[in-house]
């Protein structure tokens, strides 16, 4: 009898039960110095004031929701010079014990590169930098699915950065061009749910990008344009729990039909800056090699 050298296991990035192998440990930053103090995406209006107390309460509500769903939350202090540091998804890419810090498009966020690099180095991560001339906004613009990274480019990240990212991490990166400035990061258009499924907002992608996702995701939950603009793809998945900033009725029904528990978490103060639940978190347990 011949025994196969390797047993057919689950696909990379997923557990034997089909749930994501990552997304159970998050880095978050409390909104101590958060505000809409400049405008770098179409949702930000400096004349709109953020209610700091409400932002703090919403943030604490999100932390509690993630913990209740079984996730661990690690907290980094908010540096007063960078109000958008609450959006830790943009810190960089985690890959096992490797951290690739973001290079931000706008000067307002650029100091975050050193702040997060120092934090990750102190935690024992190896910090590998992209070439300085290339912008890439981290997990906000790159999410694992099907053993590769799906990476958005144009508004915040440069296309050649995806090649550099692939070289640094040793993982295949598939690039998707973002076309709607309101959906300026890929994590507003794409949410990996499990081995076969993802929330997908084709309104955010060009024709080729739609084909890439179509070929990659066996069972997409396609969003209508108005659903996508509610930020419902900007959600976090912990096993079979989906934590969403908004839950359009049809989307909630489909997720529940697939066996997910759906939790809506109010983060309205952060939507004023163009960020939802996913933007407020960075998965620390992504390992693209397994």
Which residues here bind ligand ARG, judged by CB under 6 A? 40-41, 44, 84, 87, 89-90, 109, 140, 185, 187-188, 273-275, 279
The CA-to-CA distance between both ends of the chain, in Å, stands at 29
Closer to ligand ARG by Cβ: residue 251 or 280: 280
Smallest separation, CB 1 to ligand ARG (Å): 51
Tokens in use for 49? 């004031």
Q: What secondary structure does DSSP assign to 41-79, as a single string?
A: STT--TTSPP-HHHHHHHHHHHHHHHHHTT-EEEE-PPP
Closer to ligand ARG by Cβ: residue 90 or 113: 90
Closer to ligand ARG by Cβ: residue 84 or 195: 84
CA–CA separation, 35 and 2 (whole Å)? 64
Is residue 279 annotated as part of the catalytic site, yes or no?
yes
Q: CA angle, corner 230, sides to 137 and 160, nearest 5? A: 20
Smallest separation, CB 114 to ligand ARG (Å): 17
Smallest separation, CB 274 to ligand ARG (Å): 5
Smallest separation, CB 41 to ligand ARG (Å): 4
User: Count of alpha carbons within 13 Å of 279, Cβ hemisphere only?
Assistant: 27
185, 200, 232, 265: the active-site residue: 185
Smallest separation, CB 9 to ligand ARG (Å): 31
Q: CA angle, corner 271, sides to 45 and 208, nearest 5? A: 95
> 126-127 and 98-101 as β-strands: parallel, antiparallel, unpaired?
parallel
> 197-200 and 190-192 as β-strands: parallel, antiparallel, unpaired?
antiparallel
Q: Which residue minimizes CB distance to ligand ARG?
A: 140
User: Count of alpha carbons within 13 Å of 9, Cβ hemisphere only?
Assistant: 9
How distant is the alpha carbon of residue 20 from its chain centre?
14
Smallest separation, CB 29 to ligand ARG (Å): 12
Closer to ligand ARG by Cβ: residue 89 or 221: 89
Closer to ligand ARG by Cβ: residue 140 or 144: 140
The answer to whether residues 242 and 260 touch, using CB atoms and an 8 Å cutoff, is yes
CA–CA separation, 40 and 240 (whole Å)? 34
The answer to whether residues 146 and 174 touch, using CB atoms and an 8 Å cutoff, is no
29, 232, 265, 279: the active-site residue: 279
Closer to ligand ARG by Cβ: residue 92 or 146: 92
- Residues known to be catalytic: 185, 279
């Amino acid at each position: 009898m011949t025994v196969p050298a390797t047993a057919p296991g689950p696909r990379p990035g997923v557990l034997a039960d089909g749930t994501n192998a990552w997304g159970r440990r998050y880095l978050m930053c409390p909104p101590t110095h958060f505000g809409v103090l400049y405008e770098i995406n179409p949702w930000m209006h400096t004349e709109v004031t953020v209610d700091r107390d409400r932002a703090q309460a919403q943030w604490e509500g999100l932390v509690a929701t993630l913990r209740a769903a079984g996730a661990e939350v690690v907290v980094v202090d908010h540096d007063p010079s960078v109000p958008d540091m609450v959006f830790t998804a943009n810190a960089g890419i985690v890959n096992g014990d490797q951290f690739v810090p973001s290079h931000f498009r706008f000067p307002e966020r650029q100091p975050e590169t050193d702040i997060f690099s120092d934090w990750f180095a102190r935690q024992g991560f190896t910090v590998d930098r992209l070439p300085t001339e290339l912008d890439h906004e981290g997990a906000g613009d790159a999410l694992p699915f099907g053993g590769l990274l799906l990476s958005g480019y144009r508004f915040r990240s440069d296309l050649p950065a995806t090649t550099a990212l692939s070289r640094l991490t040793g993982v295949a990166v598939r690039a998707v061009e973002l076309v709607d400035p309101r959906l300026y990061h890929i994590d507003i258009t794409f949410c990996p749910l499990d081995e076969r499924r993802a929330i997908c907002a084709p309104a955010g992608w060009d024709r080729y990008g739609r084909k890439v996702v179509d070929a990659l995701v066996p069972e997409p939950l396609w969003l209508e344009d108005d659903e996508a603009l509610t930020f419902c793809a900007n959600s976090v998945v912990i096993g079979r729990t989906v934590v969403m900033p908004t839950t359009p009725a049809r989307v909630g029904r489909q997720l529940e039909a697939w066996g997910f528990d759906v939790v809506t978490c109010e983060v309205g103060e952060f939507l004023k800056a163009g960020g939802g639940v996913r933007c407020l978190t960075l998965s620390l347990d992504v390992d693209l090699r397994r």
